[in-house]
Each structure stands twice: as C-alpha cells, then as structure tokens.
Structure 1
Amino acid sequence: MTLIISCVNISIKLQNVLKALNLDVDDISGQCYDNGSNMKGKHQGVQKRLREINPRASYMHCACHSLNLTLCDIAHSFSRAISFFIIVQRLYTLFSSSTKRRKILLDNVSELTVKYLSNTRWESRIKSIKTIRFQGPQIRLALSMLYDSYGNDAKTKSDAESLYNALGSYEFLLGMVMWYEIFFVINKISMTLQSKSMCISVTIEQIGYMLSYFVKFTDEIFISCLNIAKILHLIWMLNSPFQ
C-alpha cells in the first residue's frame, strides 16, 4: 500500500512540475528512470501512470544508471578488482576516523584528499582514485607519519604499515592506473548523459568511442597502462621490484 501511495504522489508531483513549466504531458514521447520499482513498475510505477495519460510516453531504463550497473558488475567480477577497491576504502576509513589522522593527511596532501567510495555512483569513484594517482608519494608519506605518531596503538600502526606497503605494490599501482583510465572514459559519458544540453548525436559518438576503447583495451590500452605504471614506479621511488 505504501508503494502505491508513493507512486501516486510522485506521478502527481511530476505532472504538477510539468504544468508549472508549461509542458504538456501529451507531448511526452519517452520517459526513463532508474531501477526503482516505484518508478519503473509496469503495474503501479510512475511510468505506468504516465502512460495511462499518454500511451505514447514509452519507457526505457536510464542509460546512466545502466552504465553504473555495468561498472558495478565489472568491479565485482574478479577478486583483484575487489581487493583494489577495499584498499582505497580502507585508506579513507583510516584517515577519516579522527581529526588527528585527518590533519596528518592534510599536512601532506594539499590539493586532493581521499574520498569515500560511493556504492551507487560508481563513475564518481574516479575522484577517489585520482587522489592516489596524482599524490601517491604524499599519501604514503602521511601513512609513514601516522605510523610514527601512534606509539602504542598497535592496530593503527598495523593499518598504516599495511596500506603503505599496499600502495607501493606492483598489483595496486597497475590497478590504479587501469581503473583511473577506465573511469575517466566512463565518467565523461556519464556526465554527457546527465547534461541538460545533451545532444543525441554527440552522445552516440562518445558511446561509440567508449565501446571501441574497451575493444582495444586488452591489446593497446593495457600496454599503455603498464607503461604509465612503470613510470610512476620510478617517480614514486619505490624499492619493491615492478613485476
């Protein structure tokens, strides 16, 4: 019953907003929402109620939300990706758990800072990875200082040391470069899909580029990521072998 009332309220509010903007419901040629049952439901959803008023308002799943779901499936499809994002999340959790730890981070990382990983907007994770991608040495220095400043706190010292070593590993470095490149391409498409001035022809062209990007990923893009990771290994002055 609650779901039905919610759908009715949303559809009525939507119609009121359209009227306030001098937009006629009869002129709607299509509608798209996320995967919420109160929006997409074929029996009681908002899309169903709008189609009762205008049968021509065909429904399709939100392209931006579908892109997010695709990203989610990719990131959960193999263990190394899962491990990579766990490390990124642990980094945020460690530094955000107290003002003292936060200060140590900000004293070393001046431009970008570690961010929480969103579970619903996967394309926004580029912000979390960007911080590490371009300020990795500073973050590792902050971890080292955190380790030194927590004398008898075994857990904090253990977490700091573990993350310090993880950020300097070959596997994390390559994963960081790869995911940053992937999110950069996908985030651009996502922003275009959400733009108020979206042009269909330009969007289709960008989606075509994204598809060709992934087709080339195994051969060309991966080699490029590997070379970037090798350069970062030298820039970060890591002692561990890159292999």
Structure 2
Amino acid sequence: MTLLLKGKKLREFVFRSKGICVKAKDFFGVIQRIYTIFANSTKRWKILKENVPELTLKPLSSTRWESRVESVRAIRFQIEEVREALLQVGETDNDSKIRSEAKSLAKNELGDFEFLVALVIWYEILYRVNYVSKNLQSHNMVLDVAIEDIKKLVLFFEEYREFGFPDAISVAKNIAIELSVDPVFPKRREIRRKKHFDENQSSSSDVVHQTTEESFRVNYFLFIVDQAIGSLNKRFEQYQEFQNTFGFLFTSTHLQSLDNETLHSNCINLQKALTSGKQFDIDGNDLYMELKLLKDMLPDQDMRAIDILSFLKRKCYFQNSFIAYRILLTIPVTVASAERSFSKLKLLKSYLRSTMLQERLNGLALIAIEKDLLKKIDYENLIDIFASRKARRRIIFK
C-alpha cells in the first residue's frame, strides 16, 4: 500500500483548466509574453530593473510549478511599474515589432479591467495552493497533518467560491484607479444570428442575456474554482482511504477516545487491509488487546504516531502495535524526496563525466541524497578506520 502522490500534483490541477478555459490560457500567455520581451534583450532588461527594483519577473516553467505564483506575484504587486517599463520599451526600442507588442501589452492587456480581476483571482488561488504544496513536501510531514491541510484547502475553495469574486472585484478596482483604467468589464460585441422563417420565436425570446461581469464570474471564476474543488476531491481520495484505515492510530487522544467496540472494529479492518492471500502482517484481535492496554499506559498528553512508536520501542510485548505504527509511519505523504533524488542525477552525470562508472555514480548519488546524515558523521574516526585497514609497510632507507 503506497501513496504515489507527487508534490507538484497539488498545483497541477489548477493548470489543467487552461486546456478548456481559453481565457485562463490567454492569461498565462500574457504573463509569459511580458517576461519574454524584457528577457530577450539586456537593454530592455535594464529598463525593467530601473522601473521594477524589487520583485523580478519570472518565466513560466513546465517542471517548476512554483514559478507560476512567482510570475503572477511580480506583476500583481508591481503592475504600475511593469506597465511603465513596457511603455518605455514601446518608445525607445529599435525593433518596430517589439515596440508594437510592448505598447499593446501596456495599453490593451494591463489596461484591461478583466485582466486585472483575473490577476487578483489567480494570485489568491496560486498562493494558497503553493503554500499547502510546500507543506506537504516538508521532510517532517505526517499523514494526519497532510489530511487536515487538504481539508482546509478544499474548505478555502468552497468559501472562495461564494465570497471570493466580490473581494477580487474590489481589489481590482483599487488597482485600476492607480493605473487610471476604467474599472468596468469591457462590453463584448453581440453576435446576432439570422432567424429562419420556420424558427420558433418563443425559444429565442427566452434566452437570458448575461452582463459581462456575470459572464466572467460564471465562465471564468466559477469554472476555475469548480475545477479546483473537483480535482482536489478526486486526487486526494486515497488520503481519505488511509484515514479510514489508520485514522484511529494518528494520535493518543483519538485512540483513548474510542470505545471498545469501535476500537475492535478498526483493528479488524486494519488486519484486512494488511492481508494478502493467507498472509497478514498483524492479528486484529491481538492488536485490539494490545491497544486496550496501551490506552491505559500512555501518558496524559497528546502524542502523535511517531511519539507513540518511540514509546513502544521501550516495550517488548506490543508486537502488533509496533508493526502497525511502523507501517503507518512509512506511508509517504508525497514522493517529493524521491523526485529530488532523481533531480540530482543531472548534476552528477553531466557530459563532462561521460566515463563515470556505475559504482562511482552510486556513491556520489548516495552522498548527495543523504547529505543531512553526512554532516553528522565524524570524519576523523572514519579516516582512522580507513588508515588502519589500508596501512602499508613503509620501506625505511638508512
């Protein structure tokens, strides 16, 4: 039983909507175009640095998902400075195509109230998702805390769906006033379809015409948030499965609050989950008896699973409980640490080390992966051991 959930999966669901919602795709296209204009020329980058001294523009990356929130943040809080830099490029650059594109971005995109509202919405969403994702990738993250973080994230999206749009409109209006932009949604051209002589006139009269603001709320804001809620609930169903199986072992407080019937039922369910064919890791009835005794022996304080396991190490007669807690604590919350290990390969196995053998590569990879453990090793002791085993006779010349 493993949890193969990549750290970037939490952020990935947000960007899947780009393939369906054209406006969301266009939004990130504008973000990338702004960065590209300045990044492709040292002179234009100098203009950017003169106008934007704090947060630097970031490109979108297909592998580094945190770049999304970083790229949006730089424009969200410095949009006036970025717009001024684009206008300056539009006046001074030697390339007519770049001048035209810079002016278009400054006046049409950054001067569009709809884009300002989208900027506020995406920053709120990306910041919250990135915050939870970073927590899930921490080395000391445990399963019960991860489940609570995911529940809070889903709750945030549900509340944001109800109250987030008016707040985003209010913030975007303040930004529009600073930019001297009319804080109204641009009115789109209505497409009138020619009616045929045999067409039912009542059907066309029943069509409800939405305002541009309501259309943006339904087709953009609600679409993105609903995609987020649905994807979160779907992707993290396995978390709920683990909670149903191991939830009674998460904390000592929860364990001590269970009655005997509920505790016995949970132990039997855990035995079934850890059974393969005729072999099983624990005996449910024995685990039940051990946990009944353990409930009375644990101190009167809230202990997490790792603390309970440390307590069980000092006891030799809780064999099933010891196995159950070891299995619980070896279930990975994410595989971010494994991904980091593979990322080290491109640093170790470069084109300059083309003749490296597998043994040396394994050794370097192990040193890079276990660098925290390596810092605690006493090198002097290792050198003495190595010298004693590899000592050679020296020929002394008289």
Partner of 1:137: 80
Return the offset for 1:226. Answer: 1.4
Return the offset for 1:164. Answer: 0.3
Return the offset for 1:160. Answer: 0.4
Mapped contact 1:123–1:190 kept (Cα < 8 A) = no
Return the offset for 1:218. Answer: 2.7
Partner of 1:227: 170
Local SS of the residue matching 2:31 = helix
The range that moved more, 164-173 or 227-236, is 227-236
1:95 and 2:42 matched: no
In structure 1, what is the Cα distance between the partners aligned to 2:4 and 2:114?
36
1:209 and 2:149 matched: no
Query: Given residue 105 of structure 2, which amino acid in structure 1 is its aligned partner?
Result: L
Mapped contact 2:83–2:106 kept (Cα < 8 A) = yes
Q: Deviations over 1:125-148 (max 9, x none)?
A: 110000111000000000111111
Mapped contact 1:94–1:101 kept (Cα < 8 A) = yes
Partner of 1:83: 26
Residue pairs, 1:112-191, within 5 angstroms: 112-151=55-94, 153-165=95-107, 166-191=109-134
Return the offset for 1:95. Answer: 0.3
Local SS of the residue matching 2:2 = strand
In structure 2, what is the Cα distance between the partners aligned to 1:112 and 1:66?
26
In structure 2, what is the Cα distance between the partners aligned to 1:192 and 1:96?
32
Local SS of the residue matching 1:237 = coil
Residues 1:77 and 1:229: Cα distance change in structure 2 (over 3 Å): same
Q: Deviations over 1:125-179 (max 9, x none)?
A: 110000111000000000111111125x220111101110211211110110000
Residue pairs, 1:45-56, within 5 angstroms: none
Local SS of the residue matching 2:72 = helix
Gapped runs of 5+ residues in structure 2? Answer: 186-398
The range that moved more, 68-77 or 159-168, is 68-77
Mapped contact 1:133–1:177 kept (Cα < 8 A) = yes
In structure 2, what is the Cα distance between the partners aligned to 1:101 and 1:132?
17
The range that moved more, 184-193 or 59-68, is 59-68
Query: Given residue 37 of structure 2, which amino acid in structure 1 is its aligned partner?
Result: L
1:105 and 2:43 matched: no
Residues 1:179 and 1:138: Cα distance change in structure 2 (over 3 Å): same
Return the offset for 1:123. Answer: 4.0
Query: Given residue 210 of structure 1, which amino acid in structure 2 is its aligned partner?
Result: L
Q: Deviations over 1:49-98 (max 9, x none)?
A: xxxxxxxxx33322423213312213333001000000000011100001
Mapped contact 2:34–2:105 kept (Cα < 8 A) = yes
In structure 1, what is the Cα distance between the partners aligned to 2:77 and 2:6?
30
The alignment covers a number of residue pairs equal to 184
In structure 2, what is the Cα distance between the partners aligned to 1:178 and 1:107?
28
Q: Deviations over 1:197-224 (max 9, x none)?
A: 2243332222111101222233211221
Query: Given residue 198 of structure 1, which amino acid in structure 2 is its aligned partner?
Result: M
Partner of 1:23: none
In structure 1, what is the Cα distance between the partners aligned to 2:162 and 2:124?
15
Return the offset for 1:227. Answer: 1.2
In structure 2, what is the Cα distance between the partners aligned to 1:178 and 1:68?
15
Mapped contact 1:116–1:128 kept (Cα < 8 A) = yes
Residues 1:160 and 1:175: Cα distance change in structure 2 (over 3 Å): same
Report % sequence identity.
38
Partner of 1:68: 11
Query: Given residue 125 of structure 2, which amino acid in structure 1 is its aligned partner?
Result: I
Local SS of the residue matching 1:64 = coil
Local SS of the residue matching 1:216 = helix
The range that moved more, 225-234 or 172-181, is 225-234
Q: RCO (CA 8 Å, sep 6+): is it higher in 1 or 2?
A: 2
TM-score (norm 2): 0.44
TM-score (norm 1): 0.71
Partner of 2:312: none
Mapped contact 1:92–1:114 kept (Cα < 8 A) = yes
Local SS of the residue matching 2:165 = helix
Superposed CA RMSD in Å reads: 1.6
Local SS of the residue matching 2:55 = coil
In structure 2, what is the Cα distance between the partners aligned to 1:213 and 1:77?
23
